C-alpha cells in the first residue's frame, strides 16, 4: 500500500510499529500466551475477603487514561471488558523507566492486543480491576477503531452505518455492544435444536451442495460448471431429495443444517445464501410434525431466552405451544372474504385482478394461489400459526390429503407475518410423484424459471419404496431474527452478500 494513501493516524501507527521493533519488541510474537482468566469471570467471582488472585488475561486496549506514573486501561476480551491499573514502578521495577514512558505511553494505541499478568483488586472507586505486574505486546493495530466518543451526552464517531457494519463485521463486533451477543444466541439456537433431535435418536447428516439437478424446491438456482466432469452444475436450493433418499436407505430419522442458495431477490428477510434445517422422520405425518415443531420451538426459546415470549418491533410473540391451525383456503377467506376453493386458473386470475395482485402468463394455478395468499394473508399472522392443507398445485413433493384429493397434507408456520417453517406428509407414491414432476415441466415450458426439475434418480429411489414419512424445513436465519429481536436478516448473518467495493 502506498503510504501516501494512509491517513495521518495510520502513518503514525506504522511508525510506532517500527519503533517497537527497534526497541527489540516483536509486535506480532509467535509464542502462545497463557490465558488463565476472562473479564466476565473475574468480575463475577471476585470476593473482597478472598485471598489475592493472580490472573493472566489478554485482549484489546479499548480506552486508557494516562496520569503520570500510573494509568488506567479498559481491556476487552472474548467475554467483556475489565479495567487494568498500570503503575510505572510495577511495570519497570529497575532503573529503566523508558520502557513505560516510551512503549506504553507513546507506542501502544487503542485497538492493540496485549497480554497482562497481575492480581485482582477493588479500586477506591469500587471498580473490580487488575493490577498489572507484567505486560506483553501481542498484536499491533495499524488502523484506528471507530471508538464512540461523547460530548454533552451526545455520541460521536458511532459505527452505525449498515453498509459499513456488514462489510466490516470484524469492526462491528469489536465496537458495537450487543452485536456479538446476537451471534452467540444464534449458535445457542442451533445447539438447542440439535440436542432436541439427538435426544430422540435422529441422525445428523451432510448432503451435496453441488448438484447436477437443483431439486427439492421451486426456486431459481445459481449455475456453475464442473470442469473435470464437463457438466453444468447448480448450488443447491434445497437438500430435501437427498434426505429422502436416506429414508429410502433405511434411516428412520435424519436432519441437516443446510446452506442453500437461491438466485433471487434480496430484502430485509431474504438473502441469496441462507441456512435451513430440514428433518425427515419415518412413519409420521404432518399432524405429528406440527406437534413436534411447536414443542421444539418452545424448548429452544426457553433454553436460549429463558422465556417463550420474545419482543420483535412492536409485537410480543409467544412460542408457547400449542399454535393455532388454519387451512390456506380459510386463511384467504378470513382475510379477503373470497372463497377460492374449487376455482380454476381463469377464475383465480379474475380474483387477482379484483384484488389488484400482479400476475403473468407463466403462473399456473398453484402460483396464483400462492400470490393471493402472500398479498392478502401472510402478513396478518403475527403469532405462530400453522397454515395447513395447501392446494395440490402448490406442493409437487407433498402427499395428497387423505380426505380431499385437491389438497395436500402440508403446513407452513407463519410467525410475525413471514413463513418460518414448511412441512409435509411426504409423497412416497413414485407414480404420483412422476406425474407431479411432469406438471412442473409444463410450467417450466411456459416460462416459469422456478419450476422444479425432474430428478430421475430420486424417482428411482422412490420406486424402491419409501415408508410413510413427514419432513419439515425451518429457516434458521429467520428464527435467529425472531429470537434476537432483529427485523433485518443482515443483522443475523456474519457476512451478508454485498456488492463489491469500488
Q: What is the pLDDT of residue 452?
A: 65
pLDDT tens-place string over residues 176-196: 999 999 999 999 999 999 999
Res. 365 pLDDT band, cuts 50 70 90 = confident
- Asked if residue 34 is part of any domain, the answer here is yes
* Residue 453 and residue 311 in one domain: yes
- Asked if residue 152 is part of any domain, the answer here is no
- Asked if residue 233 is part of any domain, the answer here is yes
Q: Rounded to whole angstroms, how far apart are CA atoms 177 and 364?
A: 48
- Asked if residue 364 is part of any domain, the answer here is no
Mean pLDDT of the chain: 91
- Is the pLDDT at 31 greater than 90? The verdict is no
* Residue 260 and residue 393 in one domain: yes
Q: What is the pLDDT of residue 67?
A: 84
Q: What pTM, to 2 d.p., does this model score?
A: 0.90
* Residue 137 and residue 276 in one domain: no
* Residue 229 and residue 94 in one domain: no
* Residue 189 and residue 237 in one domain: yes
Q: Rounded to whole angstroms, how far apart are CA atoms 385 and 85?
A: 55
Q: Helices 476-484 and 179-199, interaxial angle, to 10°?
A: 120
Q: What is the pLDDT of residue 403?
A: 94
Which of 145, 166, 193 corresponds to the end of one domain? 145
Q: Rounded to whole angstroms, how far apart are CA atoms 146 and 111?
A: 10
Locate 16 and state its grid cell. Answer: 510506532
Q: What is the pLDDT of residue 450?
A: 60
CA angle 425, 431, 435 (to 5 degrees): 90
Average pLDDT over residues 47-63: 96
Q: What is the pLDDT of residue 95?
A: 53
Q: What is the CATH number of the domain that holds 82?
A: 2.40.50.140
Average pLDDT over residues 238-258: 97
* Residue 132 and residue 220 in one domain: no
pLDDT tens-place string over residues 91-108: 766 655 666 767 777 889
Range of the domain at 49: 3-145
- Is the pLDDT at 3 greater than 60? The verdict is no
Average pLDDT over residues 363-385: 92
pLDDT tens-place string over residues 428-480: 999 999 988 888 777 767 666 666 678 899 999 999 999 999 999 999 999 99
Q: What is the pLDDT of residue 19?
A: 92
Q: What is the pLDDT of residue 91?
A: 76
* Residue 97 and residue 140 in one domain: yes
pLDDT tens-place string over residues 256-312: 999 999 999 888 888 999 999 999 999 999 999 999 999 999 999 999 999 999 998
- Asked if residue 370 is part of any domain, the answer here is no
Q: Rounded to whole angstroms, how far apart are CA atoms 376 and 462?
A: 37
* Residue 97 and residue 22 in one domain: yes
The helix (H) or strand (E) run that includes residue 131 is strand 128-139
- Asked if residue 445 is part of any domain, the answer here is yes
Q: What is the pLDDT of residue 440?
A: 76
Which residues, 6 or more positions from 73, have their beta carbon under 8 angstroms from its beta carbon?
Answer: 61, 63, 64, 65, 83, 84, 86
Q: Rounded to whole angstroms, how far apart are CA atoms 447 and 457?
A: 25
Q: What is the pLDDT of residue 397?
A: 83
Q: Report the number of distinct structural domains present in the chain.
A: 2
* Residue 297 and residue 445 in one domain: yes
Locate 397 and state its grid cell. Answer: 413433493
Amino acid at each position: 500500500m502506498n503510504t501516501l494513501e494512509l491517513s495521518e493516524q495510520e502513518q503514525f501507527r506504522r511508525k510506532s510499529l517500527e519503533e517497537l521493533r527497534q526497541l527489540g519488541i516483536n509486535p506480532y510474537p509467535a509464542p502462545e500466551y497463557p490465558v488463565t482468566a476472562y473479564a466476565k469471570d473475574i468480575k463475577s467471582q471476585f470476593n473482597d475477603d478472598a485471598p489475592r488472585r493472580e490472573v493472566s488475561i489478554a485482549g484489546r486496549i479499548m480506552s486508557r487514561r494516562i496520569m503520570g506514573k500510573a494509568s488506567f486501561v479498559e481491556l476487552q476480551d472474548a467475554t467483556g471488558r475489565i479495567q487494568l491499573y498500570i503503575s510505572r514502578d510495577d511495570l519497570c521495577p529497575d532503573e529503566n523507566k523508558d520502557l513505560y514512558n516510551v512503549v506504553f505511553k507513546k507506542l501502544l494505541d487503542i485497538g492493540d492486543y496485549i497480554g497482562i499478568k497481575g492480581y485482582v483488586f477493588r479500586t477506591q472507586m469500587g471498580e473490580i480491576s487488575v493490577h498489572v505486574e507484567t505486560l506483553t505486546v501481542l498484536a499491533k493495530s495499524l488502523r484506528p477503531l471507530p471508538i464512540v466518543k461523547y460530548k454533552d451526552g451526545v455520541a460521536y464517531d458511532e459505527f452505525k452505518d449498515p453498509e459499513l457494519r456488514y462489510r466490516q463485521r470484524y469492526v462491528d463486533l469489536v465496537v458495537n455492544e450487543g452485536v456479538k451477543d446476537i451471534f452467540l444466541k444464534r449458535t445457542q439456537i442451533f445447539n438447542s435444536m440439535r440436542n432436541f433431535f439427538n435426544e430422540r435418536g435422529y441422525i445428523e447428516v451432510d448432503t451435496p451442495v453441488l448438484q447436477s439437478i437443483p431439486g427439492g424446491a421451486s426456486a431459481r438456482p445459481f449455475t456453475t460448471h464442473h470442469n473435470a466432469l464437463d457438466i453444468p452444475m447448480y448450488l443447491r436450493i434445497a437438500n430435501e431429495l437427498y434426505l429422502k433418499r436416506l429414508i429410502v436407505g433405511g434411516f428412520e430419522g435424519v436432519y441437516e443444517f443446510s446452506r442453500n442458495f437461491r438466485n433471487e431477490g434480496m430484502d430485509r428477510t431474504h438473502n441469496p445464501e441462507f441456512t435451513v434445517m430440514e428433518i425427515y422422520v419415518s412413519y409420521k405425518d404432518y399432524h405429528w410434525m406440527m406437534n413436534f415443531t411447536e414443542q421444539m420451538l418452545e424448548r429452544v426459546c426457553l433454553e436460549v431466552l429463558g422465556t417463550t415470549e420474545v419482543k420483535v418491533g412492536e409485537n410480543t410473540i409467544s412460542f408457547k405451544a400449542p399454535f393455532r391451525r388454519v387451512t390456506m383456503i380459510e386463511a384467504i377467506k378470513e382475510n379477503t372474504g373470497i372463497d377460492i376453493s374449487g376455482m380454476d386458473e381463469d377464475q383465480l386470475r379474475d380474483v387477482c385482478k379484483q384484488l389488484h395482485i400482479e400476475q403473468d402468463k407463466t403462473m399456473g394455478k398453484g402460483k396464483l394461489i400462492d400470490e393471493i395468499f402472500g398479498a392478502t394473508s401472510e402478513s396478518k399472522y403475527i403469532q405462530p400459526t400453522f397454515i395447513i392443507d395447501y392446494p395440490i398445485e402448490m406442493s409437487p413433493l407433498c402427499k395428497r390429503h387423505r380426505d380431499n384429493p385437491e389438497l395436500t397434507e402440508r403446513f407452513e408456520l407463519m410467525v410475525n407475518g413471514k413463513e418460518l417453517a414448511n412441512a409435509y406428509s411426504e409423497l412416497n407414491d413414485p407414480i404420483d410423484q412422476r406425474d407431479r414432476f411432469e406438471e412442473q415441466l409444463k410450467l417450466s415450458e411456459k416460462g416459469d424459471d422456478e419450476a422444479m426439475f425432474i430428478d430421475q434418480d430420486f424417482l428411482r429411489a422412490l420406486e424402491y419404496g419409501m415408508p410413510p414419512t413427514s419432513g419439515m424445513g425451518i429457516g434458521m436465519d429467520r428464527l435467529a431474527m425472531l429470537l434476537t429481536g432483529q427485523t433485518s436478516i443482515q443483522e443475523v448473518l456474519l457476512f451478508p452478500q454485498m456488492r463489491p467495493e469500488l
